[in-house]
A and B are shown apart, each in its own frame.
Chain A
Amino acid sequence: MNQTHILSWILFTPVIGAIVLLFIPRERDNLHRVIGNVFGMLGLVVSLPLIWRFQIGTPGYQFRESYDWIPSIGAHYSLGIDGISFLLIMLTTILGAISILSSWSAIQTRKKEYYILFLLLQTGMLGVFMALDFFLFYLFWEVMLVPMYFLIGVWGSDRRLYAAIKFFLYTLAGSVLMLLAILALYYRAHELAGAAAAYTFDIPTLLGAVPQFSTTLQRILFWGFFFAFAIKVPMFPFHTWLPDAHTEAPTAGSVILAGVLLKMGTYGFIRFSLPLLPTDAVARQHIINILMVLSIVGIIYGALVCMMQKDMKKLIAYSSVSHLGFCTLGIFALNPHGVSGSVIQQINHGISTGALFLIVGVLYERRHTRLISEYGGLSTPMPNFAAIYMIATLSSLGLPLLNGFIGEFTILSGVFQVSLRWTAWAVVGIVLGAAYLLWLYQRVMFGPVTNPANEHLPDLNLREYATLVPLMLLAFWIGIYPKPLFRVLDVSVRQIVEQVNPGYYNSATAQRYGEKPPVAAPSEAARSERNGGESDSTKAAKRVTPNPSAMIASSAPLAANTAASAAEKR
């Protein structure tokens, strides 16, 4: 294999920064933030070559590196990325640089420790998206908790200790189950491979062995991983650490938390949970129904809870619950639209919610309060801020030609192919999304300035522009020309979907298309089957039948339906 170390460079650049900072005396705190920013920026710069070196259309992982690490247990230092992790890595390096920059004046105490921890956090998150070895993956997954714990616990606001401990323990509880599941996977795969085989933690190898497991084990493994990811995402009802952590964390912490950390959960779902879905159609449908319902509840519940929040950061935190509900919804639609829409929406959420947290940070730095009632009429003293905040709001509520719409549309299109009812419920979340975001905007920005403290707030300064404007540009770019994202994702998503939904890309009916263009009408029967109660599961079960020959068999009833409908028309 053509060896390249680009991933290692991206991964360890922040660590190098942290080490450099270690050797700088504590008193020189301005130097700390300069160097912290230099390495934050450098982290972004070293990741840029990925953009032109990443080969679109090549299946599998790219830029692979693999070295023996602990040979006795089969752990490797093994890295590699596909389209999905590529996008998430770019998101991480961009948001990392931006949030480190946003800390410039916000962090006034213990700057040395702050920048060291922040850089370590970057490495932890990047590692999660790059690791191709379960041992390494788990290591990064846990390592990342520690700096985040300190970032919240030391530089947070009033209830920071409660929030930090809650965040730490809650996520740790989930990870422990995942560790057990990883071990079970590790031993069982070895057992199946035969005694002669070497133990390995290699992710593709282990996941490749899953179809041979018993349904019970597949189920146990799925749920074992599920809690770790569901807590991280967070899915309803495992979300309550999020409002506290978001609210208490310093601005940069919230940006990273919402922008990247949560995506580790959705990434886990795509990378691990989908291949771990039981091959047995009934068991699988059962799991999918649960996850779909939890996602939809999260979407609507999160949106409704947003309405009554008095704290801006809490409101945005709950909106994350709602938005991430869309992401998980898309993933478990198990089709290309759902999965690629979900990844795009993850990126979008990083951009728009990241921007919203930065915006709250701008206000917090000026007024040191997050209470909505303290503000009002800010459009008058801060017109440029008003414009940028409006764009961020619109991007978050999914206005076309901004990024959010592309993700939401693609996800909903994927979900619609599975169930009309689920889509209809999810759409409720979009309506509510407009309501709470615009209401927030109105209460903060419109009307006369009622609080004298707000009368002379300065508008954005140059550094704040530097953090916000790039995000706005990204939002417009994805909204207007998302094609590059779709192209990057295409092959990776295809591989995943073909794994969990075999034959989706080349079902037997695809050939019928050539014979009789362009449409075959659905019969009333097919329609009622689609919308009917239990038939959702049978239909989905058909679509997810594991081997292609069974798929051909299962498409026969569909063909029969269309034939019947043609007859009906006559």
Chain B
Amino acid sequence: MPAEFFLASIWLIPLFPLAGAAAMLLVGRRLSNKAVSWVGVGSVGLAALFAFGAIVQLMARAPAQRLVEIVLFDWVPAGVMHTMSGRVLNFNAPWGMLLDPLSAVMIGVVTGVGFLIHVYSVGYMAHEGGYYRFFGYMNLFMFSMLVLVLANNLLLLFVGWEGVGLCSYLLIGFYFLRKSASDAGKKAFVVNRIGDAGFILGLFLLLDTIGTLRFTEVGPAIEAGGFAVGNGVMTAIALLLFVGATGKSAQIPLYVWLPDAMEGPTPVSALIHAATMVTAGVYMITRMNLVFQLAPIALGAVATIGAVTAIYAASMGLVQNDIKRVLAYSTVSQLGYMFLALGVGAFTAGIFHLMIHAFFKALLFLGSGSVIHALSGEQDVRKMGALAKKIPTTTMTFLVATIAISGIPPLAGFVSKDAILAASFNARPLLWGIGFVTAGMTAFYMFRLVFLTFYGESRVPHDVEHHIHESPRSMTWPLIILALLSVVGGWIGWPESLGGSDHFARFLDPVIARHAQAIAAVPEAAQHATEYELMAVSVAVALVGIFLAWIFYLRRPAVPGTLAEKSGGLYRLLYNKYYIDQVYDAMFVNRAKDLGTTLGAFDLGVIDGLGVDGAGWVARISSSLSIVWDEWIVDGLVNLAARIVWIFSYPVRMIQSGRVSNYALLIVLGVLVFLGYYLRVTGVTLHNVLH
């Protein structure tokens, strides 16, 4: 094997799952489930092998050398164009792959977690129809996601971006016989398209400003352009790209599709709607961090939207009864944290949390899947309880993930969440406050879920109860590995203040451009002092949340009910998700449909009716008018002339009787008249004649 073999073959990484998908979708129906599993999981396994090989070889290089770019072919050589400044250039988007520390982290997460989830799916989906279709879509998703994170230019990134959206659509609607599932899929796609509209406009603006979309050229082009911090165009680009991120990563106001996306099979929720796809927005912004650092307004928007989404989603998560929906809101909330991190300029912290979140959230979803599996499809926590003894592995791993997400040291979630809170405290104390409160809420709703599901008294219906069983090993092993990662995964980013060396941030450093004006430097010692305090309070608030959950759902199970009754309005508002779906329907969806109906009627009535058919009618009316004209005037004149002749010929006609005797009489009379006349004129008298 040649040196750096894996680095030279990064272009292959997405192609393994693509081949798997093609095989499955073309001939999968004829394959046995076993063959499908081997191809479906194997292709991702190969991708993971190549990905980790490449990561290792990349890390073996010196930090400054950690960049590999491989261009396979010209993809969109669209030709000559002008930039805004009047520069003429030849646009060409290559099909090229780029591996640097950032994409290395991403392919690690995507293939690693993706592989575990594929393994898990073998057990989970074993009894479902359309097994090959499921793995076909999942592999297609892996392809798209890997293109997204490995793309060397923004347009190719967009390919992955849309591709994962498509797979999300297909997999949410996997149970297409259910209308709610196909509705949810459609909603996800269309809402994402709204974000994509912003993304593509941002892409055009970037292209027209700096004349390139290749990531390796964006930096130098911006440097050369001499854009100052606060530059208007950069702000516009950043904001437009962020619109795209809010769609894909389910932030306010485009988060509405994600809770509904839980209609898909649980491994899908784990892979796409928790660990990988929804973090694409975070990745994209980090990838474009140079642009964002030049746009403080856009960063402010990112941080604010992130923090508000975090607490907003957490508030809805407090009262939901569907185990997957709670996790969905939790995902939205955690993504909010990541955006908060990006918005305060802590890009590495955002990516770090992305990775850790992928571990524990995938674990939570897979765990919930294991619970649902055990309960023959039940998702309502009100019909669970006391499962801890019956499904111990699931319970233990779920508990680990819950502790991690709650931010209890030394688990991974503590490290990554703390990095975000520390960064936001320095930059935007108010937003830190929101994040701090959210941390408490997170601990509360997650432990609520744990207590309701695994502890307390069993509320499981009897006919279901004796079917309860621990999941097969193909499902529990991924849980155990992810649980392990949720514990130790954070240690690679252990902060310096706690005696670590923050390897993770160092690794990512080359990708993140430091802009002096963008991030106010804080003296290190002072930083450490505040960091300790911040850690202490955030652990404290998490413990308070856990304690409350314990009181509410284990010690005094009656409390939540009375509380809900007493706070009536607020509870209903949260339970009904702030009625946002209804508001959107009323404001946008139905209005668009109405507009369509109106315009349809307009098209039929006015443009076609009045315009085209109208023209037809005018032609017909004017043709009947011209018939009238022709018959009465043009032809009428002719007839009139004839009529006049006819009238004046009346006396003459009287003579034409057709009787010979009349004619004879007339002849005689005529002869007599002429004769008389002749005689008068010539003076010849009858007398003369006779004589």
Contact = CB atoms under 8 A, between A and B. Distances in A.
A25 interface: no
Contact of A520 (B87, B158, B159, B163): B87
Nearest to A439: B186
B525 interface: no
Closest 9 CB pairs of A and B: A307-B596, A240-B608, A509-B86, A400-B159, A446-B182, A558-B86, A520-B85, A416-B204, A521-B225
A450 to B, nearest CB: 11
Contacts of A520: 85-87, 225
A301 B193 contact: no
A527 B232 contact: yes
Given A307-B593, A520-B225, A505 B88 contact: yes
A246 B211 CA distance: 42
Interface in A223-245: 237, 239-241
Given A307-B600, A399-B166, 20 more contacts: A170-B612, A305-B599, A337-B78, A337-B91, A409-B155, A423-B204, A434-B193, A442-B182, A446-B182, A447-B176, A483-B77, A493-B79, A507-B88, A509-B87, A509-B88, A510-B87, A519-B221, A520-B225, A555-B86, A559-B86
Given A341-B78, A427-B197, A166 B208 contact: no
B197 A430 contact: yes
A379 B176 CA distance: 9
B86 A336 contact: no
A424 B79 contact: no
A138 B165 CA distance: 47
B162 A399 contact: yes
Given A412-B204, A446-B173, A522 B600 contact: no
Contacts of A559: 86
Contacts of B204: 412-413, 416, 423
A530 interface: yes
A522 B85 contact: yes
A417 B88 CA distance: 12
A562 B182 contact: no
Interface in B611-651: 611-612, 616
B85 A524 contact: no
Interface string A305-349: 111110000000000000000000000000111001100000000
B559 interface: no
A335 B82 contact: yes
A559 B159 CA distance: 35
27 contacts: A304-B592, A305-B599, A305-B600, A306-B596, A307-B600, A308-B593, A308-B597, A336-B79, A336-B80, A341-B78, A380-B177, A400-B162, A406-B76, A409-B76, A409-B200, A417-B82, A430-B196, A446-B182, A486-B79, A513-B89, A518-B211, A518-B224, A519-B85, A520-B85, A526-B85, A561-B85, A569-B228
B220 to A, nearest CB: 7
B675 interface: no
Given A410-B78, A430-B197, A522-B209, A305 B596 contact: yes
A486 B597 contact: no
Nearest to B593: A307
A289 B369 CA distance: 57
Contacts of A306: 596
B168 to A, nearest CB: 13
B86 to A, nearest CB: 4
B569 interface: no
Given A401-B159, A513-B89, A413 B81 contact: yes
Interface string A145-186: 000000000000000000000100110000000000000000
A506 B177 contact: no
Interface string A494-521: 1000000000111101101100011111
B207 interface: yes
A438 B74 CA distance: 31
Interface of A: 166, 169-170, 237, 239-241, 301, 304-309, 335-337, 340-341, 377, 379-380, 383, 387, 394, 399-401, 405-406, 409-410, 412-414, 416-417, 420, 423-424, 427-428, 430-432, 434-435, 438-439, 442, 445-448, 480-483, 486-487, 490, 493-494, 504-507, 509-510, 512-513, 517-522, 524, 526-527, 530, 543, 555, 558-559, 561-562, 566, 569
Contacts of B169: 438
Q: How large is the interface on B (under 10, 10 to 19, 20 to 34, 35 or more residues)?
A: 35 or more
B603 interface: yes
B568 interface: no
Contacts of B194: 431
Contact of A519 (B79, B205, B225): B225
B201 A427 contact: yes
Which of B73, B227, B597, B600 has the most A CB atoms < 10 Å from its CB?
Answer: B600
Given A442-B182, A558-B85, A423 B201 contact: yes
Contacts of B91: 337, 413
B84 interface: yes
A11 to B, nearest CB: 30
Which of B84, B87, B91, B163 has the most A CB atoms < 10 Å from its CB?
Answer: B84
A340 B79 contact: yes
A481 to B, nearest CB: 7
B145 to A, nearest CB: 14
Given A399-B162, A446-B182, A519-B87, A430 B193 contact: yes
Contact of A431 (B83, B179, B197, B612): B197
Contacts of A519: 83, 85, 87, 209-211, 221, 224-225
B480 interface: no
A430 B597 CA distance: 19
B78 A340 contact: yes
B162 A506 contact: no
Interface string B91-122: 10000000000000000000000000000000
Contacts of B82: 335, 417, 504, 507, 543
A518 B219 CA distance: 11
A240 to B, nearest CB: 4
A486 B158 contact: no
B78 A486 contact: yes
Contacts of A239: 607
A483 B204 CA distance: 20
B88 A518 contact: no
A488 to B, nearest CB: 12
A409 B224 CA distance: 27
Nearest to A443: B182
Interface string B232-266: 11000000000000000000000000000000000
A304 B74 contact: no
B600 A309 contact: yes
Nearest to A387: B25
Given A308-B597, A447-B177, A504-B80, A400 B89 contact: no
Contacts of B88: 504-507, 509-510, 513
A305 B603 contact: yes
A180 B338 CA distance: 66
A464 B616 CA distance: 39
Contact of A434 (B25, B190, B608): B190
Which of A416, A506, A530 has the most B CB atoms < 10 Å from its CB?
Answer: A416
B260 to A, nearest CB: 14
Given A341-B78, A513-B87, A522 B233 contact: yes
Contacts of A438: 169, 186, 189-190
B22 to A, nearest CB: 11
Nearest to A401: B159
Contacts of A509: 85-88
Nearest to B78: A410
A569 B226 contact: yes
A401 B75 CA distance: 10
Which of B79, B159, B600 has the most A CB atoms < 10 Å from its CB?
Answer: B79
Contacts of B159: 400-401
B516 to A, nearest CB: 16
A115 to B, nearest CB: 31
Interface string B14-44: 0000000000010001000000000000000
